[in-house]
Amino acid sequence: MDRRDLPEILWYARYDDVYSTTKGFPYASTLYTGHRRGHQYAVNKKVTHTGGTLTIDRNAWDAPVAIVG
């Protein structure tokens, strides 16, 4: 695979309960540097706010969410 075929930003799921985009990164540390990583580190976590319980996923993010313009 040619590096030009890779996406510019990577959002990966690794359910290790580690809030980080660098610790435990499952690929070469030279890939997706410079604020281009998102890490979904927890899934189906129950949280309660003001009496209501939600099931959510947790993410560590070090990348733009949207680029406008």
- The SS3 of residue 28 is coil
Q: Is residue 47 a part of any domain in this protein?
A: yes
State pLDDT tens for residues 8-39. 899 999 999 999 999 999 999 999 999 999 99
Specify the pLDDT at position 2.
Answer: 61
**Closest by Cα among 39, 48, 51 to 15:** 39
State pLDDT tens for residues 32-65. 999 999 999 999 999 999 999 999 999 999 998 8
Q: Is residue 69 a part of any domain in this protein?
A: no
Residue 50 neighbours by CB under 8 Å, 6+ apart: none
The per-residue pLDDT of the chain, averaged, comes to: 91
- The SS3 of residue 6 is coil
**Domain of residue 41, residue span:** 3-26+35-62
Q: Is residue 67 a part of any domain in this protein?
A: no
Looking at the structure of the chain, the number of domains it has is 1
Q: Is residue 68 a part of any domain in this protein?
A: no
